[in-house]
Amino acid sequence: MNKSLHRPSYKESLSGCQRANAELQMCEKCIELDKKIARYERILSAITDQIALDGIKELIKQMKAQKIALHPEG
């Protein structure tokens, strides 16, 4: 029984690399979103205006939703 193993072609290998790079970019996006979220959370502690607080909380909520959308399987 001589079964040959499937060896990926150059194009198949390249597409795997592209997928890995895309995942890495998503993580970089998450890092940036985390930085923005942390900055807005620090601002929250210094603001007393309720309208501003509500707006910032909404921005934080939207950024967290963006993170979830970047990694829907995780």
DSSP conformational letter for 6: P
Asked if residues 16 and 8 have their Cβ atoms less than 8 Å apart, the reply is: yes
DSSP string computed for 15-70: HHHHHHHHHHHHHHHHHHHHHHHHHHHHHHTT---HHHHHHHHHHHHHHHHHHHHH
Q: Which position has the higher pLDDT, 26 or 15?
A: 26
In this predicted structure, what is the pLDDT of residue 26? 61
Per-residue model confidence as pLDDT tens digits over 27-68: 889 999 999 999 999 999 999 999 999 999 999 999 999 999
pLDDT band at 10 (very low <50, low <70, confident <90, very high): very low
- Whether this prediction's pTM lies above 0.75 is answered by no
In this predicted structure, what is the pLDDT of residue 72? 78
